[in-house]
Amino acid sequence: MKQIIDVKMTARNVDFSECKTDVLVVGIFSDAKKLDSLNAQLDKKLAGAIGRLIKLGDFKGAEKTSAIVYGNEKIGARRVLLVGLGEKDKATLDTIRKATAHAAKKSVEIKAKTVALALHNAFGRRFDLSAVGRASGEGAYFGSYQYDEYVTESQNGRLDSLKVELIEPDPGKLRELKKGLAVGSIIGRAQSYARTLTNRPGNVIYPATLAAAAKEAARGSKRLSCTVFDKKQMTAKGMGGVLAVGSGSQHEPRFIILKYNPANIRAANKLPVVALVGKAITFDSGGISIKPAANMEEMKLDKTGGIAVISTLKAAAELELPVRLYGLIPSAENLPGGSSYRPGDIINTFSGKTVEVQNTDAEGRMILCDALAYAVKQKCDVIIDIATLTGACMVALGTYKAGLMGNDNELIKQIQKASEDSGEKVWPMPSDDEYAEEMRSKIADLKNIGSKWGGACTAAAFLRQFVGDAKWAHLDIAGMDMFQNPTEYSAVGSSGFGVRLLTTYLMNLINNK
């Protein structure tokens, strides 16, 4: 099987024009009246080629656009890639992340072996340099990502690795940039790992193989441990929700527990114990309440939340974050069959609460409720769950922002801040008592669907019944799990959404932001 592109990242003190590389990447603002001094120097050596390109109107510096100018004997680079940064005042760190991703994607497309990133220089000292390094690292991984491990036909010689250098003419800036780049590379790699695991289909990734992947991830760090409950153990523990959803499949369900115990216990003691809970339905056919055939293949991505959690714990361990973490990933395959759970069934869940099933396609909440109750039992102070939970959330927010619900304003604000910092967008939505009322059953404690309206909010209100007194937030990422088509800065398929958001939340927690 083909390997995923291996990105190697470094930072180096070198002059733009002297840098030997296949692609030198520079940034241009759409509202700049003239080239900044570094770009102007480069343009001079290129005999004004950049200036002419801009003057002709072939490149305007708009976001999501780029243009290539070919190098000459006066510069070290074979090509100069101009990347649009949009309006100068509107630019954020996410502009750097996305522009870098765009450049990395273009570089892979033209089969470059080496890329020199200089676009951050357009910002001078406007942003914290380590944050710039981090965004660049994250962006380079994101943009160069491709999923082709099952394509056996010729890839037209796609390269196995890409060498990316962050180049910086000012040696005084290098240290901070490097620091950030190291962090960004860890997060970027974790996100690419998440995308590959998620892109793998349901015949390859099912609960047992997902559990094996989590174990493998834990083997990479002595601070990370992984315990997996199989069907028998879940039965003994009374995890009726996960068992019910998994009952129709030949692939039995699993309950995956990752635990991260940092070396720096003193620092961790000052912080809450955080549980990250992720939905991992390895394929969601809807079960007996079966889904229509159109686009059903996309439901292999219904494990995105769980994989975001595995990947975040992996990143947290590599970053040696001083915070105690649980990663709880209930995993099942939702299929119709002779042993499937059915509408009308009443399920005893791990919390002790009973749930009347009215729709087997509302399975995410059935597995999450067991994991949330498990987090409460472990006395976690903060619980954040992440799930491709409802089509209704997609109807409400489209494919641009994830729904954010919760029971604690401070936690909501922290996640909003992490969202701004990471570029993975969220939008607040309610989940209070009115919504919870819709989830009451006449013959059990709860039922698993509400009325026709507000489906994302009623689903969240259902989950809220299982978090006890913990501070809880819920991320509904149904619209965020994938790109249906390639974009200017991403390949088609899994987006790896959540890895940057959750890692950033944890890092901010440590830095008191």
CB 117 within 8 A of CB 25: yes
What's the rounded Cα separation, in Å, for the pair 458 and 437? 9
Q: Tokens representing 299?
A: 């439901």
What's the rounded Cα separation, in Å, for the pair 20 and 8? 16
Binding mask 191-210 for ligand BES (x = CB under 6 A): --------------------
Q: How is the chain split among helix, strand and coil, in percent rounded to 5?
A: 40, 20, 40
If one asks whether residue 449 binds ligand BES (CB under 6 A), the answer comes out as yes
What DSSP character marks residue 5? P
CB 475 within 8 A of CB 128: no
If one asks whether residue 333 binds Mn ion (CB under 5 A), the answer comes out as no
* CB 423, min distance to ligand BES, A: 21
Among 22, 284, 333, 370, contact with ligand BES (rule: CB under 6 A): 284
* CB 138, min distance to ligand BES, A: 24
CB 2 within 8 A of CB 151: yes
What's the rounded Cα separation, in Å, for the pair 238 and 83? 55
CB 300 within 8 A of CB 279: no
**Which residues does 18 contact at the CB level (< 8 Å), separation at least 6?**
75, 76
If one asks whether residue 455 binds ligand BES (CB under 6 A), the answer comes out as yes
**Which residues does 112 contact at the CB level (< 8 Å), separation at least 6?**
22, 23, 79, 159, 162
**Cα distances (Å, whole numbers) of residue 6 to 152, 193, 495:** 19, 11, 18
| Cα 383–Cα 385–Cα 389 angle in degrees, nearest 5 | 155
Residue 473 phi/psi, 5-degree rounding, is: -135, 150
Compare residues 382 and 389 and give the one whose CB is closer to ligand BES: 389
Choose from Zn ion, ligand BES, Mn ion, none: what does 394 bind? Cβ within 5-8 Å by kind: ligand BES
* CB 145, min distance to Zn ion, A: 24
Known catalytic residue: 175? no
Compare residues 43 and 370 and give the one whose CB is closer to Mn ion: 370
Place of tokens 């007194």: 469
Compare residues 211 and 332 and give the one whose CB is closer to Mn ion: 332
374-403 residues in contact with ligand BES (CB under 6 A) are 388-392, 394
If one asks whether residue 280 binds ligand BES (CB under 6 A), the answer comes out as no
230-269 residues in contact with Mn ion (CB under 5 A) are none
* CB 454, min distance to ligand BES, A: 11
Among 252, 333, 363, 421, contact with ligand BES (rule: CB under 6 A): 363
Picking from 411, 456, 413, the residue whose alpha carbon sits closest to that of residue 431 is: 456
Give first-to-last CA distance, the chain, whole Å: 43
Strand partners, 68: 81
**Alpha helices per DSSP H over 18-173:** 37-45, 49-55, 93-109, 129-144
* CB 284, min distance to ligand BES, A: 5
Compare residues 36 and 298 and give the one whose CB is closer to Mn ion: 298
If one asks whether residue 491 binds ligand BES (CB under 6 A), the answer comes out as no
Picking from 179, 175, 165, 178, the residue whose alpha carbon sits closest to that of residue 14 is: 165
Choose from ligand BES, Mn ion, Zn ion, none: what does 91 bind? Cβ within 5-8 Å by kind: none
Over its C-alpha atoms, the chain yields an Rg (Å, rounded) of 24
* CB 286, min distance to Mn ion, A: 5
If one asks whether residue 362 binds ligand BES (CB under 6 A), the answer comes out as yes
If one asks whether residue 361 binds Mn ion (CB under 5 A), the answer comes out as yes
Residue 419 phi/psi, 5-degree rounding, is: -65, -45
Candidates 167-175, 278-286, 313-321, 377-385 — which segment interacts with Zn ion by CB under 5 A? 278-286
Compare residues 392 and 501 and give the one whose CB is closer to ligand BES: 392
Sign (positive or negative) of CA dihedral 348, 351, 354, 356? negative
| Catalytic hit among 106, 189, 200, 365 | 365
Residue closest to Mn ion, measured at CB: 361
If one asks whether residue 476 binds ligand BES (CB under 6 A), the answer comes out as no
Known catalytic residue: 215? no
283-312 residues in contact with Mn ion (CB under 5 A) are 284
Binding mask 347-386 for Zn ion (x = CB under 5 A): -----------------x----------------------
What beta strand segments (E) does 118-266 contain? 161-167, 224-229, 254-260
* CB 326, min distance to Mn ion, A: 25
Among 284, 318, 333, 370, contact with Zn ion (rule: CB under 5 A): 284
* CB 399, min distance to ligand BES, A: 10
CB 98 within 8 A of CB 63: yes
If one asks whether residue 356 binds ligand BES (CB under 6 A), the answer comes out as no
* CB 279, min distance to ligand BES, A: 8
Kindly list the residues in this chain that would bind Zn ion in the complex (CB under 5 A): 281, 284, 302, 364
Kindly list the residues in this chain that would bind Mn ion in the complex (CB under 5 A): 284, 361, 363
Positions annotated as catalytic residues are 291, 365
Kindly list the residues in this chain that would bind ligand BES in the complex (CB under 6 A): 284, 302, 359, 361-364, 388-392, 394, 449, 455, 478
